[in-house]
Amino acid sequence: MSTSQHLMSLRTAPVGKWLRIHSLPHGFIHAQFIRLGISEGERVKSLERLPGGTIVLQKNRQHIAIGHTLAKQIFVLVLQQDEVAA
């Protein structure tokens, strides 16, 4: 992790940026994310923030909407440009 990166909740992550999932809630929700192909260490793109706080992520060609309450429990790192291309 570079010194310019810091951990933040998905709820506060900037729109339009590539993110690396740092941690997900445990239990049933964690299992659901794994079924969608999202786990700790995965790279996703924050596409938009909808009215009401829903966050839309892109994983490959799939778009996933995550409610704001759940988004506060998911922690991410914003990737630098050189990490996106890797």
pLDDT, averaged in runs of 10, over the chain (86 residues): 73 96 93 92 96 94 94 94 68
Q: So what's the pLDDT on residue 6? A: 87
Q: So what's the pLDDT on residue 67? A: 95
Token pair for 81:
């440009």
Output the CATH code of domain 8-85. Answer: 2.30.30.90
DSSP 25-86: -STHHHHHHHHTT--TT-EEEEEEE-TTS-EEEEETTEEEEE-HHHHTT-EEEEPPHHHHH-
Q: So what's the pLDDT on residue 83? A: 74
Q: So what's the pLDDT on residue 3? A: 41
Domain boundaries, the chain: 8-85
